[in-house]
Amino acid sequence: MHNVDIDLIEMSLDITKQTINRLTQSNPHLGLAESEEKLKKKVGETITPHGIGGEKALKIWRNILSKNIMSMDHPRHLAFISAAPTKAAVMFDLVTAASSIHGSYWLLGAGGIFAENQAMEWMVKLTGLPEGAFGVFTAGGTSANLSAIVTARESWRMNNPENNNKKGIILASSESHSSIESMAKVIDAELRLVPIEEKLTSDLIEKTIATYSEEDRDRIFCVVATAGTTNAGIIDDLEGVATVCQKYNWWMHVDAAYGGGALLADTVRHLFNGIEKSDSITIDPHKWLFSPYDCGAIIYKNPELAKEVHKQEASYLDIFKETEANGFNPSDYQLQLTRRVRGLPLWFSLAMHGTNRYKEAIEWDIKLAEIAAEKIRSNPNLELVREPSLSVVLFKRKGWTPEDYKNWTFRNLEKGLALITPTKWRINGVRETVIRFCFINPDATEEDIDLILETLEN
């Protein structure tokens, strides 16, 4: 190997070490996002006919660009759905990248696919789906949801060729994730939202479809239930949704992209009852299973059906059919042909730490939400607007306008203290601006909550 390659490896490892050690510092860096214009001024032109050299490019990365990134795993980043990959998973992501594994077909990536599948078997067991259920790792929840609804729509059409000429309808709740609407557009299906205050239930679905024409009812092929809504952490009535889906022979998809990690938590596992009756489930390890980006997963009750829908046919790919008996070809079950073995970091971290550590971490996040709720209840300036669900807490700062919430968010950011963004929630029938905490990082502490609540005093 040339010396320059060794230097590059050392410099890259050095930067990685600094990056993953930031959380052990007493005052970890939250990050920032300067304007494109400012960055252009600082960085200059990096893509040139002769190259600027690895050392210079790495310096630019280390000194300028890497500072312009928000730390998703900062313990006081409680906005959106943050992330908290384990150090083991982050380091093994480096190994995964350096190994350059083609994770599409067993023939090309058997060792990597074998390891991914061990992690997948564990995830499938958590869902309680019957024997034979299996899944694959995807680029995230959006592509997992897309892989599922394409399978649902195609199986609806395979069951009755008359459906080939019909635009199918997907039912989901008004609190379902925006990716459902986007992916319905991708497959040219119609999305009908069932308005909900809290959970999607069988009664609400029945009441909604009672208002539809017979022709519209006939076009419904799938219900998407959410197990952990992004905004409030609510888990739909999965038993009830399963009952209606069985009654009308609809596909039941559960979007547990965020909530899926909580299948591990004994304190809330009962809320997921009914998930084992679904046809497909999305779980994002890059959300609450402590994996680095990007890693989603789609699990099917009947993977053979998904294979019939997703497998790609080409004469140059025929050879993989010959080797099919030897192992599993992940490309057959989701959208992507060439794919990285993005489940490998999860596998390594699970293998290293054991599943109990994962369970404890998720229980702690749920506990943090309860601790925060208790502090909010006892603070006269604050009002808890609903009981916490999973690791999400919604509350109001009494007397604040939407502008006040926005200014507070940016003040915390400027101070490098926290990233917490407002959202909207119905209070007495009116959608109001509220503060939303979502705990993902098990390194967050009660002191972190106190520091944040102090900023709401005046």
Q: Which residues of the shown chain bind ligand PLP in the complex (CB under 6 A)?
A: 81, 140-142, 177, 179, 226, 230, 255, 257-258, 284, 296
Strand partners, 397: 382
CB of 429 to ligand PLP, least distance (A): 25
Q: CB 228 → ligand PLP: shortest distance, Å?
A: 6
Nearest approach, Cβ of residue 456 and ligand PLP (Å): 25
Give the residue closest to ligand PLP by C-beta.
141
- Distance CA(252)–CA(148), nearest Å, equals 10
State how far the Cα of 28 lies from the Cα of 117, in Å rounded to an integer. Answer: 35
State the minimum distance, in angstroms, from the CB of residue 410 to ligand PLP: 22
142 vs 331, beta carbon nearer ligand PLP: 142
Give 278 or 329: the residue with its C-beta nearer to ligand PLP.
Answer: 278
Identity of the residue numbered 152: A
* Closest listed residue to residue 418, CA positions, set 382, 370, 454: 454
> Nearest approach, Cβ of 296 to ligand PLP (angstroms)?
5
Q: How far is the CB of 272 from ligand PLP (least distance, A)?
A: 14
The residue (of 281 and 417) whose beta carbon lies closer to ligand PLP is 281
Please state the separation of Cα 7 from the chain's center in Å: 36
164 alpha-carbon distance from chain centroid: 32
Nearer to ligand PLP, 28 or 422 (CB): 422
CB of 366 to ligand PLP, least distance (A): 17
Residue 240 or 296: the one with the smaller Cβ distance to ligand PLP is: 296
Q: Which residue has the tokens 């032109």?
A: 45
Residue ranges with strand state E in 342-411: 382-389, 392-397
Q: Report in angstroms the alpha-carbon separations of 287 from 143, 175, 316, 355, 391.
A: 14, 18, 36, 16, 12
CA distance 420 to 435: 8
Distance in angstroms between the alpha carbons of the first and the last residue of the chain: 61
Q: How far is the CB of 11 from ligand PLP (least distance, A)?
A: 31
Residue at token pair 């908290």 = 84
Reduced to 3 states (helix: H, G, I; strand: E, B; else coil), residue 255 is: strand
159 exposure class (CB count in 10 Å sphere: 0-12, 13-18, 19+)? exposed
Q: Give whichever of 342 and 386 is closer to ligand PLP, judged by the CB atom.
A: 342
- Distance, CA of 243 to CA of 352 (rounded, Å): 40
- The closest of 292, 324, 326 to 137, measured between CA atoms, is 292
Using the minimum distance from each CB to ligand PLP, give the nearer residue, 290 or 400: 290
Measured in degrees and rounded to the nearest 5, phi and psi for residue 81 equal: -115, 110
In whole angstroms, the minimum distance from the beta carbon of 231 to ligand PLP comes to 9
Q: CB under 8 Å to 17, separation ≥6 — which residues? A: none
Nearer to ligand PLP, 137 or 405 (CB): 137
Residue placing its CB nearer to ligand PLP in the complex, 81 or 263: 81
